[in-house]
Amino acid sequence: MENILGFENEFKNAKVIRLEQNYRSTGNILNAANEVIRNNVGRKGKNLWTDSGNGEKIEVFTAFDERDEAKFVAEKILEDVKNGGKFSENAVLYRMNAQSASIENAFARSGIAYTVIGGHRFYDREEIKDVLAYLQVINNKNDSLRLKRIINKPARGIGATTVNNASEISENLGIPLYSVLQNAADYPLIGRAAAKLDAFCKMLNGFMEFAEDHTVSEIFDEMLEKTGYLDMLLTDSDPKSADRAENVKQLGSEIKSYELDSDEPSLSAFLEETALINDVDAMDDEVDKSVMMTIHSAKGLEFKNVYLVGMEEGIFPGSQTLYGGPEEMEEERRLAYVAITRAKEKLFITNASTRMLYGSTTRNFPSRFLNEIPPEYCNQTARIGFSQSAYSSEGHSVPRTSSRRIHTDPFAKTTVAPVSAAADYKEGQVVEHKTFGKGMIIKVTKMSNDTLLEIAFENVGTKKIMANYTKLKSV
């Protein structure tokens, strides 16, 4: 940046030509971007403009929490598709990878096919698979596939040869791998590693005993502490390890959300629900898909509709930037400029009154970048009457007429309504979805306080949808 700013001083006869006409975005989007970046001191002044008209105003939405935010995005995308749009014309941008978890959950529950650009789906990330493997073994010690995944994570000095020999003994004797590991001293092939295997099994046995009278969140925390898995990531010199640690912490948030939504939360039910959600995620590569990515990954791309989520102090700009110098804040603001100008026709910017991130609930103020956009370029709404579970269809949006610069008291207490139970659905029942049209229910799977429906639609094929997450009409 210093080279660009000082170019004219170094080359006195240089002629500056500003390329200010924009052929991508509408006037309102460009005006908003101009107003945000105008707050940077270290920049070459330019003012983007377009002759394609002002277009629609930016829609600013204040959600109840991160699940409400995700539900709002899903609803808007389904509305766009219902009106003739394509899923692929809708992109969700976020500052941190961990933010994708709630969005992915909402998309899976809503039957929205999606892909993650520049990264992996939340539950496909290595660290999430590792931690879930621990929970799956705690729930079922005879899960040999997951057992082999975690046996040396973190490193315990148990080599691949030992694991392979133990697996061979298990197969030849027709007994569970866990039984072989527990009695390693009885088998000469793995006897030299008996002490390490015994310590590993004693740790897992301790988790199993702990799980008998503790919540899923408590089991998760106990497992992370005793295994040292999170510490392994936090002390790793790999630059990506910090991001991976944040993802692990975010899984803790997903577990707490599950506990809030379930009448009788349990480890086995949580793992079953996670498996079903992953199954919903498994979309055909040829299907039209919405996209989601970090803002960094979005550079150079453009989309008809962009959903910029998590516009809150501490998220965007991030907490490290808040305590950094002015140069760091200006770099973060340039990133906000990039995010805003990815939208061609419609831009949605969202923040939440409360947000559970990395296992803790916070109440963040709206982002300063959001407050830098003049109100005349925006329409603002906020969710009211929203139930504790964002997976129910209760609650609605109303215009927010007060100044956007002071939304509401972010520390005010909120009273939430009880969650309504899922309606009863039957195989063979004909229903109508507001976006996908008419279809027949071919499979019904009960899970926690919700129901997973597999529906064969007339026009879009078979989709899996969570009953509480969408309004279906019986035909």
What is the DSSP annotation of 455-468? EEETTTEEEEEEGG
Q: Which of 50-64, 135-149, 255-269, 446-460 has the highest mean pLDDT?
A: 135-149
First to last CA, the chain: 61
What would the DSSP string read from start to end of 366-421?
BPHHHHTS-GGGEEEEEEES--S-TTSS--EEEE--S-TTS-S-TT-----PPPPP
464 or 279, which is more confident: 464
CATH code at 124-265: 1.10.486.10
Structure tokens at 87: 């899923």
pLDDT at 312: 96
Least-confidence region, from 126-140, 212-226, 289-303, 409-423: 409-423
pLDDT digit string, tens, across residues 99-125: 999 999 999 999 999 999 998 999 999
Cβ distance 156 to 200 under 8 Å? yes
The one-character DSSP state at 215 is: -
The H-or-E segment that residue 344 falls in is strand 343-352
Instruction: Give pLDDT, residue 449.
Output: 73
Q: What is the pLDDT of residue 100?
A: 94
Of 283 and 114, the structure prediction assigns the larger pLDDT to 114
Looking at residue 359, what is its pLDDT? 82
Model pLDDT, residue 222: 98
Q: Is the pLDDT confidence value at 94 over 60?
A: yes
Question: Cα separation of 363 and 382, whole Å?
Answer: 15
- Over residues 410-427, the pLDDT tens digits come to 333 333 333 334 468 999
- Distance set, CA 53 to CA 31, 79, 415 (Å): 11, 24, 43
For residue 20, pLDDT over 60 is answered with: yes
Q: Are 24 and 345 in contact (CB under 8 A)?
A: no
In 3D space, the residue among 358, 275, 281, 291 whose CA is nearest the CA of residue 96 turns out to be: 358
More confident residue, 459 or 160: 160
CATH of region 22-113+283-382, choose from 3.40.50.300, 3.40.50.1220, 1.10.10.10, 3.30.70.20: 3.40.50.300
Q: Is the pLDDT assigned to residue 178 strictly greater than 50?
A: yes
Percentage of the chain beyond pLDDT 90 is 67
The pLDDT of 306-310, averaged and rounded, is 98
**Cα–Cα distance between 341 and 26 in angstroms, integer?**
9
Q: Rg of the Cα trace of the chain?
A: 25
Burial of 88 from C-beta contacts in 10 A (0-12 / 13-18 / 19+): middle
Task: Report pLDDT for 249.
Answer: 96
User: What's the mean pLDDT when you consider all of the chain?
Assistant: 86
For the chain, which residues make up each domain, given as ranges? Answer: 22-113+283-382, 124-265, 429-474
Nearest alpha-carbon partner for 61 in 383, 338, 384, 395: 383
Q: Note the pLDDT of residue 6.
A: 59
Say which residue, 449 or 241, is predicted with more confidence: 241
* Calpha distance 301→282 (Å, rounded): 25
Instruction: Convert the pLDDT of each residue in 70-82 to its tens digit.
Output: 999 999 999 999 9
Worst-scoring range by mean pLDDT, 16-20, 95-99, 363-367, 412-416? 412-416
CA separation for the pair 378, 215 (Å, rounded): 44
Nearest residue to 261 via CA among 386, 389, 354, 359: 389
Quote the CA–CA distance of 21 and 47 in Å, as a whole number: 8
Q: Which of 434, 379, 128, 388 is nearest to 275 (CA)?
A: 128
Which has the closest alpha carbon to 40: 372, 404, 375, 378? 372
CA 262, chain centre distance (Å): 20
| Of 197 and 451, the one with more pLDDT | 197
For 424, counting Cβ atoms within 10 Å of its Cβ (0-12 exposed, 13-18 middle, 19+ buried), the class is exposed
